[in-house]
Amino acid sequence: MIAVFVYGTLLVGESNHHVVSPYLMEVQPGTIHGRLYDVGPYPALVRTDDTHEVEGEWIEVTEEGLAAMDILETYFGPHHADNEYERIWVKDTTSEKEGWVYCYPSPRGLPAIQGSSWKSHQRNNQM
């Protein structure tokens, strides 16, 4: 199994969860250091110092699940010129859990999401 931290549309109940659900072995809550930015229909995570945290889920998937996420996240391999996201190794802020996460290299002028949760941001914007 491969551990991946998800924080946006791949979360349980979100619009792209179906991409990973056939390969899903386990889900548990988690938090990593970073900041979320609003791309519109999905968030982008940018790694930051230890002052900001992002809430999400640690999922355990098969190799096929990781490959399906690579396609969704437009990830072709480390530092590939056509990547939208990079896939990097991270550790949870409160546990020993560690694994992959997809992150943007920079915020690229995107508006920062207030708070640490994409789901909360979505709920607040629907009101």
Residue with tokens 């809430």: 55
Q: Give, as one character, the DSSP assignment of residue 84.
A: S
Q: How would you class 43 by CB atoms within 10 Å of its CB: exposed for 0-12, middle for 13-18, buried for 19 or more?
A: buried
Q: Which domains does the chain have, with CATH numbers?
A: 2-126 (3.10.490.10)
Residues identified as active-site: 73
The predicted structure's pLDDT at residue 48: 80
* The model's pTM: 0.94
pLDDT beyond 70 at 126: no
Q: How would you class 62 by CB atoms within 10 Å of its CB: exposed for 0-12, middle for 13-18, buried for 19 or more?
A: middle
pLDDT per position as a tens digit, 5-19: 999 999 999 999 999
Q: Give, as one character, the DSSP assignment of residue 34.
A: -
